[in-house]
Structure formats: structure tokens, C-alpha cells
């Protein structure tokens, strides 16, 4: 069993981004800029945004966070995004999810200029991903693909089971795998017999937010398991969606939680923002 070390790979990506930022400054006098909209007081959202801001500073980006109360109107959020769409210093716009219930998330995401949609959630970029055209891709699935590349894990012809069908993780993950010529099964909350699908898979990618969902008897010998889930349990520790201690014994490769996919999400956000900055006209 080999651990897939997302933390060291993320550091490697950030080092590469940092050197490219220096080059971009020297050659074109461009400093990549990322703007974040953060609404409300959710502690997890504030923690994520703080980590993103720290990562931006580390690689030499310009970054700004718009902190808004959860009582803010949808029109005010849209006006702020419109302002950032027009700001030439801003290459990437990120709206931290989830949003308050009175806000239409789909509407907000569609207002972002697709060229600045570094989260890869805009319908334009989703459509380009599905048709295997160059696009901005959701950061977590993109990070998983980077892991496969780094560890030279062959995807062509492999049976892959994606557990979870969210727009943020499951669906873009499945599209990326299909584009890499894997045979993909997508399972979700209404799937009748999850084990019947996972037990046949060469690769399992799970991200649903259910601690220990994937058990040892649901995984075949030698499988590769990518655990995107991150859950805080009663004792305060962080665990994934996989029963790591038991499942890892059967795996050829597995990601730990924490230290697996998590760090790659922010690394890919930096990579996407750099890509947007390079495309400035």
C-alpha cells in the first residue's frame, strides 16, 4: 500500500506557480489577482478563505476578500461580482459556498465572467469540460487528476466508481475520468446497492461527507481509493469517507485524510488563477 501524499504534491505545485508568477511579473508586469466573496459567519468558510489568502500571499498573488453579512441582498452580491468582472487587476473570482438560503447560488455563479471562473462552476466551463475542450475545471477533481498524473496511475480502460454526484465534485470528476478514457460509474444517495458498484472498481473516488462510508468489504484487493471526504467527528479529529485503517490494507494506493486531496484543492485554485492571468489580453 502506498500513500498518495497530497501535501507534498501541493507544495510542489505552489513552488511551480510561484516561479511562473515571478516570470509573469518580469516579462509582462502582470500580478495574478484573486477576489473572494465571503458571506456570513460560517467558521469553516472563514477558515477555508483564510487558507486561500495565505496561499495567494505565498505565491505572490494580489488577493482581496469581500466580507459580507448573511443579510446582504442578492442584487448587492451581483453588483460586487459585476465590479470584479470589470476590474483588470482581478483574474479570478471565487464565491465561497454555501450561500445563505435567500440567495440563488446558480444565478450568482452564472454572473461570474467565465474567463474569471477559477472555481470552474460556471455552466460555460462545465459544458466545455463535458465536451473535452479547454476550460476552467473545479479545483478538487482537478487536484485528483494531478495526483493520478504524479503517481503515474493509468486511467485508460480502468473501471472507476465515483461515489457522489454533486456539481462541485462528483460530476466534474466523472467528466475528467471519461475524458481520460476510463469506464465510469457514478453512484449517489439513491443508488440501490453501493457495494455492488464499489467492489468491482479498480479505482474508487468518494466525496459525500459520510464518515467511514466505504468499508473494507466494499473494496477489492489492489484497488486505488481516493477519499475526498473531510468530516469532523465527536472527538474533534478529521476523518474521510473511507474507513482508512481497514480499507488501506487492501489498497495499492490510498489518500489519507487530512493531507490527501484537501491541500490539492487550494493548489489547483492557484494554478487556475495563474492560467487566467496568463490569458489576459
Catalytic residues: 52, 96, 119
What would the grid cell of residue 259 be? 493531507
Distance CA 183, CA 178 (A): 7
Neighbour-count burial of 46, counting CB atoms closer than 10 A to its CB (0-12 exposed, 13-18 middle, 19+ buried)? middle
Of 63, 55, 53, 65, give the one whose Cα is nearest residue 32: 63
Task: Kindly compute the dihedral angle of the four CA atoms of residues 270, 124, 262, 174, in this order, to the nearest 10 degrees.
Answer: -140
What DSSP string describes 102-158? TS-HHHHHHHS-GGG-TT--SHHHHHHHHTT-S----HHHHHHHHHHHHTT---TT-
Neighbouring C-beta atoms of residue 270, cutoff 10 Å: 27
Residue found by looking up cell 440563488 in the block: 104
Of 232, 280, 222, give the one whose Cα is nearest residue 257: 232
SS3 110: helix
Distance linking the first and last C-alpha atoms of the chain: 47
Amino acid at each position: 500500500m502506498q500513500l498518495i501524499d497530497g501535501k507534498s504534491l501541493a507544495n510542489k505545485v505552489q513552488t511551480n506557480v510561484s516561479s511562473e508568477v515571478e516570470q509573469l511579473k518580469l516579462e509582462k508586469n502582470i500580478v495574478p489577482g484573486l477576489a473572494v466573496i465571503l458571506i456570513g459567519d460560517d467558521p469553516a468558510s472563514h477558515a477555508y478563505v483564510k487558507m486561500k489568502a495565505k496561499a495567494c500571499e505565498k505565491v505572490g498573488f494580489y488577493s482581496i476578500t469581500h466580507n459580507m453579512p448573511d443579510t446582504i441582498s442578492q442584487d448587492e452580491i451581483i453588483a460586487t461580482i459585476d465590479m470584479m468582472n470589470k476590474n483588470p487587476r482581478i483574474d479570478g473570482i471565487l464565491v465561497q459556498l454555501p450561500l445563505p438560503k435567500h440567495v440563488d447560488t446558480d444565478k450568482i455563479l452564472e454572473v461570474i465572467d467565465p474567463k474569471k471562473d477559477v472555481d470552474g462552476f460556471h455552466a460555460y466551463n462545465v459544458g466545455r469540460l463535458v465536451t473535452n475542450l479547454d476550460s476552467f475545471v473545479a479545483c478538487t477533481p482537478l487536484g485528483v487528476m494531478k495526483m493520478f498524473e504524479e503517481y503515474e496511475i493509468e486511467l485508460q480502460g480502468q473501471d472507476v466508481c465515483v461515489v457522489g454526484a454533486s456539481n462541485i465534485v462528483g460530476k466534474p470528476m466523472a467528466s475528467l475520468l471519461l475524458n481520460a478514457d476510463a469506464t465510469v460509474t457514478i453512484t449517489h444517495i439513491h443508488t440501490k446497492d453501493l457495494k455492488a458498484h464499489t467492489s468491482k472498481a479498480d479505482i474508487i473516488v468518494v466525496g459525500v461527507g459520510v464518515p467511514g462510508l466505504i468499508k473494507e468489504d466494499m473494496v477489492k484487493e489492489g484497488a486505488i481509493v481516493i477519499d475526498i471526504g473531510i468530516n469532523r467527528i465527536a472527538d474533534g479529529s478529521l476523518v474521510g469517507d473511507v474507513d482508512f485503517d481497514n480499507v488501506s490494507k487492501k489498497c495499492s494506493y490510498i489518500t489519507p485524510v487530512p493531507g490527501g486531496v484537501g491541500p490539492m484543492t487550494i493548489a489547483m485554485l492557484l494554478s487556475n488563477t495563474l492560467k487566467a492571468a496568463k490569458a489576459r489580453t
